[in-house]
Amino acid sequence: MDKHNYKSYRIEAENICVDYHGKVALYDANLRLKAGQICGLVGMNGAGKTTFFNALTGFVNISKGKIRINGESLRIAQKYQAIAYVPQSEGIDSQFPVSVWDVVMMGRYGSMNILRSPRESDIQAVKDAIDRVDLMELSSTPIGNLSGGQRKRTFLARAIAQRASILLLDEPFAGVDIRTEKLISELFIQFKNEGKTILLSTHDMIHVREFCDLVLLINKTVVAYGETSEVFTPENITSTFGGMSPDVLLGPES
Amino acid sequence: MDLCFLNINITSYVADPLSHEFMRKALLMSSLVAAVCGFLSSYLTLKGWALMGDAVSHSVMPGVVVAYALGLPFSLGAFIFGVGSVALIGFVKQKSRVKEDTVIGLVFTGFFALGIVLVSKIKSNIDLHSILFGSPLGISLSDVKQTVFISLLVVILLSVFRKDLILYCFDPRHAKTVGINVLFLHYLLLTCLSLAAVVGLQSVGIVLVVAMLITPGATAYLLTDKFDNMTIISVISAIISSVFGIYLSFWFDLETGGSIVLVQTFMFLFAFLFAPRYGIFKLKKFFSKY
Ligand SMILES: Nc1ncnc2c1ncn2[C@@H]1O[C@H](COP(=O)(O)OP(=O)(O)OP(=O)(O)O)[C@@H](O)[C@H]1O
Ligand SMILES: [Mg+2]
């Protein structure tokens, strides 16, 4: 009974702390997400959003606290590809000589043999994923020749191909046009209906209102966390952004 | 008639050196070494490990000297110091606030200096010149065996883990997320780097071996957008440079290591100026006008 309860959380982060060479970037952060929930991660530049993702993917070690994915350790979750990560554009070398197809195929590596030779099912998964982000005509294009928005979609396709139940997206809407924005947000709704858990960071307050069930406001630690309607208030936003008036951030109507 | 004469002349220029046993051996071994270094080079340039390559190749110096003095295979000594320098760089970086490139520069010059001091102290029949500048024309039989063995090892490792290494260079975070052992890949690449530096230094010497490890990859990077093609171009350009460099040194009596690297540099320069997409003059555009 207790165990079942434990398992009902997809992501459980308890009092996690991360420091880079002794400099604290995140402390005492908590987060609990269930299947089918979309959570927005909001904070200033340098607030620790990417750091939070790094902790959840295991890319940096947490110095304190505990992370459980589907009730199990991170290492086990990695073994069965539970988490897919879509990087912030700044985090990747956009001139790397690989094609859209190659990148999306990387989503399948975790479940392939040691030589990473694709099976029929892998090829199908890659095709489906590229199709869903509407990049079929560009599938053999080197990523260096793509626009920023197309590259975003490529990494989204990689996450889809991975068939993970948890999606972590670092600023998926940064620098994309309205069409791509619409395509991405429709995909998020589909993911939600498929029961996936989504954590996404964004600087766009409208998106949070639009489709985030929950919101996590951070500034090196959690400022506020809960249902968007309750937590996403001007007061909380102001304190997250270090005293900046919510009018500036949200527009005068709010 | 004239043409026939020219033909014979060129043939003898190319064929004459091949009548010498040491030239045949030098050409074969240098091509093999160049191929291995060229293969690795496409990973190193993409990973941004040029400075690391420089560090490892200089740090092997004391290892080579000690191994010669003790009568051990020089590759063993070199390998231990190559990997040791990397470990030391990692340690110092983690435990101090000094920036990484400073630590790298600090450690490798320290090791290199130690090597030079050891040579002067041990005073055996170590030929400092051949360690520093390479001696592809004087490779011994036991060196040949070691080189072939190490080369095969590196090629096999890089081939088996090819896709993982590409992913590691491209997006280590994703690799980690899907449960791939990133730390293993990191040390695998470092091991291959140390081994390639060990075989490469016979051809062009410690001082210039870093060129073998980065120039072919950089040249290839300007010519293609596909990783596979990049590796192929890199290997081919490395082999051509080696063969042509050795011929040049034979014809004009030049320092062999230097002329190999110089040919590589010229190949890079050519790609830099005339590469179809990424060259300064973009040849493709030029042709498509007509
Ligand atoms: N690899 C690193 N080494 C040292 N410090 C780091 C490293 N990565 C991040 N930091 C520091 O940690 C803090 C949080 O950075 P983080 O990248 O998580 O911010 P962020 O919220 O993602 O910002 P942005 O909106 O600009 O992407 C910053 O002060 C940053 O300087
Ligand atoms: Mg960030």
pLDDT digits (tens, 9 = 90+) for A131-145: 999 999 999 999 999
Distance A42 CA to ligand 1 centre (A): 14
Q: Is the pLDDT of residue B126 over 80?
A: no
Distances (CA, A) of B110 to A238, B93, B146, B241: 53, 15, 27, 31
User: Which residue from A83, A115, A142 is facing B177, i.e. has the nearest CB?
Assistant: A83
Question: Which residue of A75, A93, A166 is the best one to mutate when testing the B interface, meaning the one whose CB has the most B CBs within 10 A?
Answer: A93
Q: Which region among A29-38, B131-140, B280-289 has the lowest average model confidence (pLDDT)?
A: B280-289
pLDDT digits (tens, 9 = 90+) for B159-204: 999 999 999 999 999 999 999 999 999 989 988 998 999 888 888 8
CATH class of B31-288: mainly alpha
Chain B's closest residue to A83, CA to CA, is B177
User: Which residue from B97, B170, B173 is facing A98, i.e. has the nearest CB?
Assistant: B170
Q: Which of A17, A20, A218, A221 to mutate to test the pocket of ligand 1 (most atoms within 8 A of CB)?
A: A20
- The predicted complex's ipTM stands at 0.88
Q: What is the pLDDT, as a whole number, of residue A4? A: 46
Distances (CA, A) of B188 to A107, B153, B218: 22, 12, 21
Q: Is there a domain that residue A128 lies in?
A: no
Q: Is A45 in the pocket of ligand 1 (CB under 6 A)?
A: yes
CATH of the domain at A73: 3.40.50.300
The stretch B25-42 carries a mean pLDDT of 94
Closest CA to A227 of A208, A245, A246, A243: A208
* Percent of chain B with pLDDT strictly greater than 90: 56
Average model confidence (pLDDT) for chain B? 89
Q: Is the pLDDT of residue A252 over 60?
A: no
Q: Nearest ligand, CA of residue A60?
A: 1
| Separation of alpha carbons B121 and B123, rounded Å | 6
Q: Is there a domain that residue A38 lies in?
A: yes
Q: Is the pLDDT of residue B1 over 60?
A: no
Closest CA to A237 of A211, A210, A202, A213: A202
| Separation of alpha carbons A26 and A47, rounded Å | 8
Average model confidence (pLDDT) for chain A? 88
pLDDT digits (tens, 9 = 90+) for A191-200: 999 999 999 9
Q: Is the pLDDT of residue B42 over 90?
A: yes
pLDDT digits (tens, 9 = 90+) for A202-224: 888 888 888 899 999 999 888 88
Interface of B with A in 79-98 (CB under 8 A): 94, 97
Highest mean pLDDT among A60-69, A243-252, B124-133: A60-69
Higher confidence at residue B8 or residue B171? B171
Q: What is the pLDDT, as a whole number, of residue A135? A: 94
**3-state SS class at A112:** coil
Q: How many domains does chain A have?
A: 1
Domain housing A40 = 1-82+187-201+211-244
Question: Which residue of A85, A100, A151 is the best one to mutate when testing the B interface, meaning the one whose CB has the most B CBs within 10 A?
Answer: A85
Q: What is the pLDDT, as a whole number, of residue A226? A: 86
The stretch A35-57 carries a mean pLDDT of 92
User: A97–B226: do the CB atoms touch at under 8 Å?
Assistant: yes
Q: What is the pLDDT, as a whole number, of residue B137? A: 80
Chain A CB contacts of B97 below 8 Å: 21
pLDDT digits (tens, 9 = 90+) for B75-117: 888 889 998 998 899 899 888 888 889 999 999 999 999 999 9
What token pair was written down for B132?
Answer: 């520093």
